[in-house]
Amino acid sequence: MGKVENRIAVISIVVRDRTVTQNINDILSRHGDVILGRLGVPCPEHGVSIIVILINAENPVIGAIGGAIGNLPGVTIRSSMLI
């Protein structure tokens, strides 16, 4: 079986319910070793906050992070593999 390689991915998170912010931060903190960068931007005119995460990890880890965050109420995510 071949070696599993890390991928670089972007996860974009749209937060409509700010009560889940601590849950998002907890998930991201648990995976801090694979997070290359994080940008958070409040967009009050749209009633949302946007968080963008750059990740260097294996596919299952990227999927687990996205799945855990995407299952929170009031949160929408989109993931994109860059490399």
Q: Per-10-residue mean pLDDT for the chain, 83 residues long?
A: 85 97 97 98 97 97 97 97 94
Domains of the chain plus CATH, in order, are: 7-81 (3.30.70.1150)
pLDDT at 1: 58
pLDDT at 6: 95
pLDDT at 27: 98
pLDDT at 18: 92
pLDDT at 74: 97
pTM, rounded to two decimals? 0.91
Cα of first residue to Cα of last residue in the chain, in angstroms, is 21
The encoded tokens of residue 13 equal 């998170």
